[in-house]
Structure 1
Amino acid sequence: MTGTGGSGTPETSDPTTADGLDGTESPMLAALVRLRDALRRNALPLDIAGAEDARVAREELVHQLDDYVLPRLVRFDAPLLVVVGGSTGAGKSTLVNSLVGTRVTVPGVLRPTTRSPVLVHHPDDARWFGAERVLPGLERTEQQTNDQGALQLVATTAMPPGLAMLDAPDVDSVEESNRVLAAQLLAAADLWLFVTTAARYADQVPWDYLRMAADRSASVAIVLDRTAPDAVAEVRSHLARMLTARGLSDCPLFVVEEVPVGGDGLLPVRAVDQVRDWLADLAQDQDARAVVVKQTLEGALRSISQRAHLLADAAAEQIAVRGRLQREVDQSYADAAAAVDEATADGTLLRGEVLARWQEFVGTGELLQGLESKVSWLRDRIGNAVRGRPQQAGRVSTAVESGLQTLLLERAEEAAERVAAAWEADPAGRVLLEDGGRDLTRASRSFRADAERAVREWQQGVLDMVRSEGADKRTSARFLAYGVNGLGVALMVVVFASTAGVTGAEVGIAGASAVVGKKLLEAVFGDQAVRRLAAAARSDLGRRVDQLLEVERERYGRRLETVAVPLDGADEIRQATRTMDDERFAQKTAEQAAERAERERAAQVEDLL
């Protein structure tokens, strides 16, 4: 292959922008940029069924967009990129050197060969292969290297302008990194020159790649290398039948007979002249190159649409799983808050130590015994019955503090256990639990101290309410008799039995306690003030409980945030894909209309003649 001169094509813009060839925005390009960005944001981080395969597919799709589709759409007339790939030991590097006519890539002696891919191009085409264009993720170098993240560029006039050749790693390499890189490079090809041998042409792995190429309508040419002369007819015939059966009957098929390699490491010119001449003709025929590029690009776009819809489904599943895990958290802590709310309103707390200390404060004799039948006249006599002292009010407060703290800790532990059990039953949740450590299976270590502080602050708030409400009653005998602490604990008791059914003869232990507290408060502040104080105290308690549990709930939210799952990710992918599909359909319709118009024009010309 011998160069014939420069192409003289001007520089172009960054392929990741949405500018078309004429400087205006291309709807197709804009849609693909949005799709690429949406795929980048949707890393599919949750470990759910099929997630790993979807991540691989996502990475492949992003690479193909960046490596090939976007750059090719920006400059349709850029040089044709031929990627030479195939099986281990097929002689790809030797074939590349022989086609170019000089050693531009070093064949591997040991397997697997680990080195950077080599891209050979005409010097006048160098600008097309800068880092911002095709395969932008690979660092450019002009030296041979073992860095698989680098692309070695070799400029030689032996290559014709308008065509470049890239020597790729083995598709069936024992090293996964080689296989991944080979797949990435093949997806960036305008034309895949697949090299196999008479001994390896039926291997499964290469045919998996060929099937993928057929599915994507990619342009492919086959080179049957190292074939004994007496086996050419038989092997070529069998390979042709295999290609036909797999939808690749139109692929050019070349045979390179097994001949000794010369001292310069090259095959004789006659051995590769068919392949070399075909590539040279392709390089010189702009229309032929355009046909190859169009076929591969259209196939890539069709394949991208299909794969993007599948990835949108995968993103939707991630969103659904994340939502389910979040709902488990929200429901568990909502139930915990409801349980605390119920227990602090139905008299549950007015038992045990709290009840004993309260009875000591208000007296256990005629006062409580008379509640069942003499509630109506209690207001006038309650002041004479209460015999509590400041230290007794403090004991009630301490008992309330302890009981409320225990209640909060129990409900927080139950909520954490419930979330842990639900997440443990889900593969994605299980990983999140493991990554989050033991703290996510129990209430946080600081919860007990936080609960103690919240309860004490609530009790202080209750005392402040009483103090503020009684500001103009400081000289009242009753206010002085009960004191702020006594009235405060009475208000707490009323709050804790606000739904205990305190009416007439139905008064129970909790209700009796609440009636005493309510009548005591009414004797000082009046009915309306007591209702207002109780509502305010209960609201303040609920707010503090919600804050405590919200801190606990947020631990799981932060864990979920570490695996970013965009809630609009699936819709974003689908919308960009639909826009791309609409543009493809519009372009196809326009092309068909143009073809019909051309046929009609030709027919009219023929009629005139």
Structure 2
Amino acid sequence: MTATNATTDMLTALVRLREVLRKAPLPLETPGIAAHRSVRTEVLAQLEDYVLPRLIQIDAPLLTVVGGSTGAGKSTLVNSLVGGRVSLPGVLRPTTRSPVLVHHPSDVAWFDQSRILPDLERTPDASMDTGRLQLVASDNVPPGLAILDAPDIDSVEERNRLLASQLLAAADLWLFVTSAARYADQVPWEFLKSAAERSTAVAVVLDRTPPDALAEVSGHLARMLTARGLRDSPLFAVPESTVDDEGLLPPEAVADIRAWLEMLAADAGARAAVVRQTLDGAIRSLSRRTHPLADALAEQATVVTRLREAVDTAYDAAQRDIDEAITSGNLLRGEVLMRWQEFVGTGDLLKALESRVSQLRDRVVGGIRGRTQQIERVAVAVESGLESLILEHAERAAENADRAWRGSDAGVALSDSVPSELGRASRTLRRRVDAEVRAWHEGVLELVRAEGAGKRGTARFLAFGVNGLGVSLMMVVFASTGGVTGAEVGVAGGTAAVAQKVLEAVFGDQAVRRLAERARRDLERRVGALLDEERARFDTVLDELGVDTTAAERLRDATRRVDDVRFAAPEGGYA
């Protein structure tokens, strides 16, 4: 594989890795998720701020980021290296301002907004806005080199710390500045440890050190660097000196650092070696850090699946319970039973139905005519009973689903994030249930009309009418299981048996079975649709998270591809 092919293949692999990460949020509050979110943000930032831009423009100037602790003298050092005041030192702490990038005038095209740090707006002027990057052209900076003055890594201002981390991650070379008073602090060593782990090219500047302590402090610092995997990092010592009227250190104080940087700028091979070391280390680090992210994504998918299953369990149980209550005869009690008995009388109707058909008109029609109000009362009682049944179980399903969610931190956060209360049925449910129950009633009447199309002039049909037969069919539905109808199960003291006889007298046994099954299925469908709408409130919350159950494997595949290309790249790196 040639260096050019390796670059193309690596760009393709890294772009794919970036896209997988972009589309793989970590929204659920699972254990340790804050750290994973931070890593994901850092990985994406380094891809976009440094790795991809550097691969696309491998010959761009060497970006040296000057970073370090509060009060270490970074800005003074930058100004002294450039030979002029380009970065304003902070008198008060914390100093909040835009970072400053100094480059040779001929290199200005390399640092437009599409090159590195694309989220920082370019500006030629000093600013207090940390979202801007001040570009300063200076002939005192050799071509092929750029120096960026970053905020304090240990600033009390969080935005300064975050920006410092972002800028250091975008560096080809870290020029890490510390002082005799601060060189053993924990925060700088955390950054240096990270640099060692990523094989980032690092040079350390021991600044503001009393001359009589230079040897001792430099020796101790060198030992610390060696112990922490940075033995090859150049170490420069800048003695404590008096600055001139421009705030610059004496030229001899920074001569060694300036000479070393100029050497790197002039030597294409040395410059390429620094870039190659940092770039390869960054890519290797990205690959290593995405493996735990893949595990975190898999856990997010598992939690989403578990939360969705809890919702399905609650609402599937509600559907089963409602279906059972409808077909078991439980509704043929209370108000419904009382109104039905008012309609059919004390048994005269059943006796009449058991008599000869020729006697039916004389003995039944007179008893049914004038009972319109009783029929309506039965219908109202049925609708009311159905509505109460559905609402009760929908409310219980919402409570059960919400309770299951609140058994985990992820579910609690989700439940609390929704404006409407998930643990209660939706406010519009009662209205929708009322509409569906009425629609089902109308559907039952339509079934009766259609079935009796050729029998509307018969004595039996006229005796009961569409409404009476419709109510009777509903009674049969409420005591039918798997096609076994009311007369066969004898539920609620013969209530369904009477309704069965009424319908059979008009339509016949097989037709009654068919009508009851169709009405029952229509009711189940409507109840299922109502519950699905309620279930959807939970599902929508989960869907809006954007958790992709395939993201973990896709991230692993993308990472493996990056590793394969890196291992196959020629020894000279990328061209």
TM-score interval w.r.t. the shorter chain? over 0.9
Structure 2 residue identity aligned to 1:591? E
Structure 2 residue identity aligned to 1:488? G
Q: Does 1:167 align with 2:149?
A: yes
Superposition map of 1:384-423 within 5 A:
387-388=367-368, 389-423=371-405
Q: Does 1:65 align with 2:43?
A: no
Pick the aligned partner of 1:129 from 80, 105, 111: 111
Equivalent pair of 1:32/1:580 in contact (CA under 8 Å):
yes
Pick the aligned partner of 1:190 from 172, 196, 202: 172
Range with bigger deviation, 505-514 or 181-190 = 505-514
Cα distance in 2 for residues equivalent to 1:133 and 1:31: 19
Equivalent residue, structure 2, for 1:604: none
Summarize the Cα distance change of 1:357–1:257 in structure 2 as closer, same or farther, 3 Å threshold. Answer: same
Q: Does 1:235 align with 2:235?
A: no
RCO higher in structure (CA 8 A, sep ≥6): 2
Equivalent residue, structure 2, for 1:600: none
Q: CA deviation at 1:257?
A: 0.8
Cα distance in 1 for residues equivalent to 2:518 and 2:313: 26
Equivalent pair of 2:3/2:573 in contact (CA under 8 Å):
no
Map Cα deviations across residues 479-525 of structure 1 (whole Å, 9 max, x no partner): 00011111111111111111299699985443722222222212111
Q: CA deviation at 1:436?
A: 1.4
Q: CA deviation at 1:363?
A: 3.0
Q: Does 1:429 align with 2:411?
A: yes
Q: Does 1:42 align with 2:54?
A: no
Q: Does 1:93 align with 2:56?
A: no
Cα distance in 2 for residues equivalent to 1:288 and 1:44: 41
Cα distance in 2 for residues equivalent to 1:496 and 1:504: 8
Equivalent residue, structure 2, for 1:53: 35
Q: Does 1:586 align with 2:568?
A: yes
Map Cα deviations across residues 343-375 of structure 1 (whole Å, 9 max, x no partner): 11111111111112222222333777x99xxx9
Structure 2 residue identity aligned to 1:166? L
Equivalent pair of 2:3/2:572 in contact (CA under 8 Å):
no
Range with bigger deviation, 320-329 or 226-235 = 320-329
Pick the aligned partner of 1:291 from 268, 273, 277: 273
SS of 2:29 mapped into structure 1: coil
Structure 2 residue identity aligned to 1:54? H
Cα distance in 2 for residues equivalent to 1:213 and 1:382: 103
Cα distance in 2 for residues equivalent to 1:264 and 1:290: 34
Cα distance in 1 for residues equivalent to 2:349 and 2:443: 29
Cα distance in 2 for residues equivalent to 1:500 and 1:56: 57
Superposition map of 1:350-365 within 5 A:
350-365=332-347
Unaligned runs of 5+ in 1: 1-19, 595-609
Cα distance in 2 for residues equivalent to 1:330 and 1:447: 18
Equivalent pair of 1:502/1:515 in contact (CA under 8 Å):
no
Summarize the Cα distance change of 1:163–1:500 in structure 2 as closer, same or farther, 3 Å threshold. Answer: closer
Q: Does 1:484 align with 2:501?
A: no
SS of 2:283 mapped into structure 1: helix
Equivalent pair of 1:131/1:138 in contact (CA under 8 Å):
yes
Equivalent pair of 1:21/1:75 in contact (CA under 8 Å):
no
Equivalent residue, structure 2, for 1:256: 238
Equivalent residue, structure 2, for 1:180: 162
Superposition map of 1:209-248 within 5 A:
209-248=191-230
Cα distance in 2 for residues equivalent to 1:138 and 1:341: 61
Pick the aligned partner of 2:512 from 511, 517, 530: 530
Q: How many residue pairs are counted as aligned between the two chains?
A: 568
Q: CA deviation at 1:561?
A: 3.3
Cα distance in 1 for residues equivalent to 2:5 and 2:121: 28
Cα distance in 2 for residues equivalent to 1:143 and 1:503: 87
SS of 2:474 mapped into structure 1: helix
Q: Normalized against structure 2, the TM-score is what?
A: 0.94
Q: Does 1:319 align with 2:327?
A: no
Cα distance in 1 for residues equivalent to 2:280 and 2:391: 62
Cα distance in 2 for residues equivalent to 1:548 and 1:382: 46
Q: CA deviation at 1:391?
A: 2.2
Summarize the Cα distance change of 1:58–1:518 in structure 2 as closer, same or farther, 3 Å threshold. Answer: same
Cα distance in 2 for residues equivalent to 1:504 and 1:133: 79
Cα distance in 2 for residues equivalent to 1:189 and 1:546: 59
Equivalent pair of 2:483/2:513 in contact (CA under 8 Å):
no
Cα distance in 2 for residues equivalent to 1:364 and 1:565: 62
SS of 1:153 mapped into structure 2: strand
Map Cα deviations across residues 414-459 of structure 1 (whole Å, 9 max, x no partner): 0111112122222222222222134322111111111111111100
Equivalent pair of 1:346/1:500 in contact (CA under 8 Å):
no
Map Cα deviations across residues 245-295 of structure 1 (whole Å, 9 max, x no partner): 111111111111111111121111111111111111111111111111111
Cα distance in 1 for residues equivalent to 2:155 and 2:82: 25
Equivalent pair of 1:193/1:222 in contact (CA under 8 Å):
yes
Percentage identity across paired residues of the two chains: 61
Equivalent residue, structure 2, for 1:495: 477
Q: Does 1:81 align with 2:63?
A: yes
Cα distance in 2 for residues equivalent to 1:166 and 1:593: 25
**Alignment RMSD:** 2.5
Cα distance in 1 for residues equivalent to 2:486 and 2:540: 51
Q: CA deviation at 1:193?
A: 0.5
Cα distance in 2 for residues equivalent to 1:379 and 1:438: 61
Equivalent pair of 1:190/1:219 in contact (CA under 8 Å):
yes
Equivalent pair of 2:486/2:497 in contact (CA under 8 Å):
no
Q: CA deviation at 1:546?
A: 1.2
Map Cα deviations across residues 60-81 of structure 1 (whole Å, 9 max, x no partner): 1111001100011112111110
Equivalent residue, structure 1, for 2:437: 455
Equivalent pair of 2:476/2:485 in contact (CA under 8 Å):
no
Cα distance in 2 for residues equivalent to 1:43 and 1:552: 26
Equivalent residue, structure 2, for 1:15: none
Cα distance in 2 for residues equivalent to 1:428 and 1:490: 50
Equivalent residue, structure 1, for 2:558: 576
Pick the aligned partner of 2:131 from 138, 144, 149: 149
Cα distance in 1 for residues equivalent to 2:355 and 2:33: 70
Equivalent residue, structure 2, for 1:31: 13
SS of 1:242 mapped into structure 2: helix
Equivalent residue, structure 1, for 2:259: 277
Range with bigger deviation, 36-45 or 492-501 = 492-501
Q: Normalized against structure 1, the TM-score is what?
A: 0.89
Cα distance in 1 for residues equivalent to 2:355 and 2:110: 97
Cα distance in 1 for residues equivalent to 2:286 and 2:359: 83
Summarize the Cα distance change of 1:567–1:335 in structure 2 as closer, same or farther, 3 Å threshold. Answer: same
Equivalent residue, structure 2, for 1:444: 426
SS of 2:130 mapped into structure 1: coil
Equivalent pair of 1:500/1:510 in contact (CA under 8 Å):
no
Range with bigger deviation, 336-345 or 320-329 = 320-329
Equivalent pair of 2:328/2:479 in contact (CA under 8 Å):
yes
Cα distance in 1 for residues equivalent to 2:483 and 2:452: 28
Equivalent residue, structure 2, for 1:105: 87
Q: CA deviation at 1:34?
A: 1.6
Cα distance in 1 for residues equivalent to 2:358 and 2:382: 26
